[in-house]
Each structure stands twice: as structure tokens, then as C-alpha cells.
Amino acid sequence: MIKIENLNFSYKKNVPVLKNINLNINAGESVAIVGKSGSGKTTLLSIMAILLDDYEGNYSFHDESINQLSNKERVKFRGENIGIVFQGFYLLPHLTVLQNVMLPLDGLQYSKEEKINLAQESLSAVGMGEFVESYPDEVSGGQAQRVAIARALVRRPSIIMGDEPTGNLDESNSDMIIKLLKKNTNKDGTLIVITHDMSVAEQFDRVIRLNKGEISS
């Protein structure tokens, strides 16, 4: 489903960050990306999430080449297909838990009531249904991460991506988050997660290791 061919990327001229990456990820697969700090994990995920685009090589999704899409089409594509969870949660502090989860529905053709229902369903799926009225600083770190997951899930994306989604959490919270991500990735859904933690990586179908911008295994 995801196909990356001969991908090369640098932020600065002559400083390659990703080197000749070739990668296929099938629908329904769960994949962990591991590697030392600075090895290019976030950069690779950002390209897969279409947050970075001036790379060399080809990135296609269901045989459609992402490179060929206009900016507008890319934004639409990301919104419809990809849910992203970051290590730092990135919840907006002045919005309630419910309002944070409703954000990805902005501009979509749902009524206000439907948006509230979708966000509530998503929060219930991660066990945060009771916290709709709370503000992000009134919940724990593990709970905030669950809200971030609910927000990533609210449009029911076929691909869920996480950049160290368990990075700030203790072991039991970390376990819970991985279980939630797996449980909420539907049968044909794809889960791609960056982690430093081998005990997390072991829970995935496949582990991709980056070493200085190259896939080493």
C-alpha cells in the first residue's frame, strides 16, 4: 500500500539525512521504526505523513504517486488517510478535551452535533469518555496521550502514525497506549510507530531499523 522507492532527502545541501530508502508497507501491517537519535526516523515519518515533500525518489500510496499531487490535494489526502500522534501530545491548552478531538473535523460537512458525537465516540474508544469537559492540564500524561490518540482516530484514518507516542510515559501507560493503537487500527489499517523502546518494537509485525539514514534491517 505504501511504497517508497529510492528516497533521498536532505534538509541542507550535501548533508544527506535519508539515503536510498526502499520500503513497502502493506495494508493491515504494524511496523515499528527504530534507530539511534539522529538516524532519520522522524524525517522518514514526516515524509510518509506528507509533512515534508522536497525529497528525491517516489512515494506512492495505493499506486497513486504522492509526488504528483498539488498542495491542496496533499492536505486533503493526509486528512482523509492519516492520523498522527506525537510524543509531545500537542493538545491545545485553551480547548477542552472534546474540542481538541473535534479539531480534525473542522471544515468537514458534518453538523455540530455529529462532530460532537464522533469526538465522543473516539474518546470512549480510548477510555476517556468521562473527560470531555476537562482541559488538557487537568489530565495525566497517559490520559493526555489517549486524547491525542482519540484526535488521531476521529476521522477513522486507514494509517495511524506515531512519533514516539509512548516516549513520555511509564511502562504501564506505554503498554496501554500501544494496545490502544493496535486495537483501534482496523483490520486493513496500518500502524507505523517510531520507538526507542525494544519492548515496544517487539509488539509489531515488523521492525525497520534506520542507521545513519539508511535502512539496515
Ligand X SMILES: Nc1ncnc2c1ncn2[C@@H]1O[C@H](COP(=O)(O)OP(=O)(O)OP(=O)(O)O)[C@@H](O)[C@H]1O
Which positions lie near ligand X, rule CB under 6 A?
11, 17, 35, 37-43
CB atoms within 10 A of CB 6: 12
Q: Which is nearer to ligand X, 41 or 151 (CB)?
A: 41
Q: Which is nearer to ligand X, 3 or 19 (CB)?
A: 19
Name the minimum Å distance from CB 142 to ligand X: 21
CB atoms within 10 A of CB 111: 8
**Residue 89 cell numbers, joined:** 501530545
DSSP single-letter state for residue 172: H
Q: Which does 104 bind (CB under 5 to 8 A by kind): Mg ion, ligand X, none?
A: none
Name the minimum Å distance from CB 33 to ligand X: 8
State the Cα–Cα distance between residues 137 and 93, nearest whole angstrom.
7
DSSP single-letter state for residue 159: E
Residues 28-47 within binding reach of Mg ion (CB under 5 A): 41-42
State the Cα–Cα distance between residues 66 and 70, nearest whole angstrom.
9
Name the minimum Å distance from CB 19 to ligand X: 11
Q: Which residues bind Mg ion (CB under 5 A)?
A: 41-42
